[in-house]
Homo-oligomer: A and B are copies of this chain.
């Protein structure tokens, strides 16, 4: 949906933050594909999945961008160059701004994010399968249960679906912190540290979504709240997908070097001996 009227700077803020997210997703998508040769084959699947997450998000940000651009039209006196402050943007027709794209995006990308987190650890097939069978259905359930609340204007309905959606979210956190930790004992120390960073990033960014969800619940539905929600969602998406994907790449690199010393030598030898010897 979207509010009826935005002032010049509010419109520009939403416009630019959506474009920022689109550019970030697109660049991270290509980056993660072209660096596959920088990790051992067994870690490439995790990179490909991370790239797909960014591709899917780039597609949806492209749609969100077009939807936002098409939903509002500038009104006001004078030319925009001279009278920016007198301008405002109003919803051009009944259609409004489609936020359904965000849900479709999460439905596809959130299970994939959990998949790549488990894939990059190259755990024993048994352990890997057990973790995925818990995490993937729980994440899909979390998104699906949030949707009926998101499209409802009734605060009671929002509250009920929001609370139901929180149950699988808490279960995911339990699996990631308790069950996954048990499988981490054989991992190199640096990888354990990175995995912890990954989990905290996930908690911090996924935490933005319920907060944005609760904003209308608190009776705040102004243009400012709308802008805040768009900025919050977009920045959370960039962190949860691009930064997350880059951390996956970092872990894949570290594990590749730990697995194969000659690969590490070829990839990161700091100062060739022929240079330092002279």
A residues touching B (Cβ–Cβ < 8 Å)?
Answer: 1-4, 9, 12, 15-16, 19-20, 22-24, 26-27, 30-31, 33-38, 40-42, 44-45, 48-49, 51-52, 55-56, 59-60, 63, 74-76, 79-81, 84, 87, 91, 93-96, 98, 100-101, 103-105, 107-108, 122-125, 151, 153, 186, 188, 258-259, 266-272, 274-276
CB <8 Å contact, B268 and A98: no
The 7 closest A-B pairs by CB, nearest first: A80-B96, A74-B94, A124-B270, A16-B100, A20-B104, A27-B52, A74-B95
Best-buried of A33, A76, A95, A101 by chain B (most CB within 10 Å): A95
A272 contacts across to B, CB distance below 8 A:
258-259
B186–A104 touching, CB < 8 Å: no
**Pick the contact of A266 from B42, B91, B274 — CB < 8 Å?**
B42
Integer count of this chain's copies in the complex: 2
Residues of the B chain whose Cβ atoms lie less than 8 Å from the Cβ of A96 = 80-81, 84
Whether B74 contacts A23 by the Cβ 8 Å rule is: no
B residues near A108, Cβ cutoff 8 Å: 20, 23-24, 27
Complex: how many Å from CA A50 to CA B94? 40
Q: Are B19 and A104 within 8 A (Cβ)?
A: yes
The interface centre, meaning the residue of A3, A96, A274 with most chain B CB atoms within 10 A of its CB, is A96
The answer to whether B87 and A94 have CB atoms under 8 Å apart is yes
Instruction: Please give 14 more A-B residue pairs, beta carbons under 8 A apart, in addition to A23-B108, A122-B271.
Output: A15-B100, A16-B100, A16-B103, A16-B104, A27-B55, A31-B49, A34-B36, A41-B267, A42-B269, A74-B95, A80-B95, A84-B96, A125-B268, A125-B270
- Measured between beta carbons, the chain B residues less than 8 angstroms from A41 are 37-38, 266-267
8 residue pairs A–B, Cβ–Cβ below 8 Å: A1-B80, A15-B98, A19-B63, A23-B56, A23-B60, A26-B59, A42-B267, A74-B95
* Alpha-carbon distance A259/B98, docked complex (angstroms): 49
Which chain B residue has the least Cβ–Cβ distance from A94?
B74
Residues B104 and A80 in contact, CB atoms below 8 Å apart: no
Complex Cα distance A73/B41, Å? 50
A24 neighbours in B (Cβ, 8 Å): 108
B269 and A122 within 8 A (CB)? yes
CB <8 Å contact, B122 and A94: no
Smallest distance from the beta carbon of A68 to chain B beta carbons, Å?
A: 13
A2 near B44 (CB under 8 angstroms)? no
Report B-chain residues with C-beta under 8 Å of the C-beta of A19: 63, 101, 104
Alpha-carbon distance A122/B266, docked complex (angstroms): 11
- B-chain residues with CB within 8 Å of residue A33 when the two chains form the complex: 34
